[in-house]
Amino acid sequence: MEEKGLSYESKMLQFSKKEHKGPEIMALNPRGQVPTLVDGDIIVGESLAALLYLDDAYPEHPLLPSSKKERALAYQRLVESSNLQEKVSGVIRLKMFNPNPDPADVQKAKEALKGELKYWDEHTKGGFVAGSEFTLADAAVGPFALALKRFGATLKEFPHLAKYVETVGARPSFQKTSPPHWKDSPNQDWLNDL
């Protein structure tokens, strides 16, 4: 919405207080998950569906390329981002909600993430994930790329992805919408071997 210049109200929830499982959110999204988009009487759960909905419903400042070929790649990367989401969340979930996770489980999740990062290092060679321009696919991938940095990944072996993290992180849209507590607290070291 920042990238498209749309006005919106953002409501952050505290997972530690289980706010995402409270009645207000459960009524909107029976999975009790964020993000959930509410646009008048239209409710869209699932981040990728919300991105597609927004670009379709508000065509000004489109975030999908006009050529069929480029749009096809942007769609592919958009949907492909669910793999990155799953692999990043796989490690974070183990560390965040469990003071003593099984090291073998953590190792396995990190290896899966490392395998995934190889794809994204290749995909970011052009600057953004679907070429040289920011697209809707970057709105999907960018937050997880920034999460890699937040959780300590150095990305030494993934130079294109490392550059991408800096590029998207510097965009005003990402500066404005990254979790505010990330600015006031040090990064974690959970992924510092990646």
Handedness of CA 168, 171, 177, 182 (dihedral sign): positive
CA 36 to CA 42: how far, in whole Å?
A: 11
* Interface with ligand GSH, residue 81, by CB under 6 A: no
Q: How far is CA 49 from CA 3, 14, 19, 66, in A?
A: 17, 23, 22, 19
The one among 4, 20, 95, 114 contacting ligand GSH by CB under 6 A? 20
Name the β-bridge partners of 128.
Answer: 131
Binding piece for ligand GSH, criterion CB under 6 A, among 30-38, 64-72, 103-111, 124-132: 30-38
- Rounded to a whole number of angstroms, the minimum distance from the CB of residue 112 to ligand GSH is 16
* Interface with ligand GSH, residue 32, by CB under 6 A: yes
Task: Name the region of 95 (left: φ>0; alpha: ψ -120 to 50; beta: rest).
Answer: alpha
Nearer to ligand GSH, 2 or 19 (CB): 19
- Rounded to a whole number of angstroms, the minimum distance from the CB of residue 165 to ligand GSH is 18
* Interface with ligand GSH, residue 160, by CB under 6 A: no
Q: Which residues bind ligand GSH (CB under 6 A)?
A: 20, 32-35, 46-48
